[in-house]
Structure 1
């Protein structure tokens, strides 16, 4: 198993409006033979850490998956856990977006290429 994390993301309002209202997660399975399972968890950070997204997805060989999640929160964090014991060829990126769909550069975390932590 491997754990990927965005770390805490500050999304405090600026002039009464939060920069990010939606988070787009893109995941790619670069393995041409094996499927992998991934758990996507989102947490509200408001003095305590409260899970508000908990989704398990299965990635077929060479599949690209896109998911959109609510993020109009003062602070949040996303974690991704692979369920397999093998080295997965998974790339993950997280994109903060405004309600209009415009990207928020400061809330962009682009593709982890390898596992960052083995648990």
Structure 2
């Protein structure tokens, strides 16, 4: 399964971009099987440039948190899940400002992401 945040605009407000860091929460709700997730992060500046490429494994009933730099005018993340538990993996994305506070405009829960499968 392939999920995408779609392009996220993060233009500066008073010379500071709202989101500085992106927190990704990955939840495997399967009690028996694991899954693999390929995480691809792109910054968008007229071209789509890959800056995050990470393959992770998630065990049954495990929750992982990953943090990535996101101080760009525009960015996008794509998640490719595979393995026996891929249908039970939920991914949420949370933008955070320089002090670690959530940026509600850059919050995406699993049901809000684009399914590109």
TM-score tier (shorter): over 0.9
Separation in structure 2 between the aligned mates of residue 22 and residue 81 of structure 1, nearest angstrom: 21
Q: Distance between the aligned counterparts of 1:85 and 1:114, measured in 2?
A: 21
> What residue ranges of structure 1 are gaps of 5+ in the alignment?
none
Query: 1:28-56: CA deviations, max 9, x gaps?
Result: 00000101000011001000000000000
Give the alignment's Cα RMSD to 1 decimal.
Answer: 1.9
Show the counterpart of 2:101.
102
Give the helix-richer structure, 1 or 2: 2
Tell me, in whole angstroms, the C-alpha distance in 1 between the residues paired with 2:114 and 2:32.
19
**TM-score, length basis structure 1:** 0.91
**Where does structure 2 lack aligned partners over 5 or more consecutive residues?**
none
Question: What's the counterpart of residue 38 of structure 2?
Answer: 39
Question: Measured at CA, do residues 60 and 25 of structure 1 come closer, stay the same or move farther in structure 2, by a change above 3 Å?
Answer: same
User: 1:107, 1:61 → 2: CA distance?
Assistant: 28
1:64 maps to 63
Query: 1: distance between equivalents of 2:59 and 2:111?
Result: 18
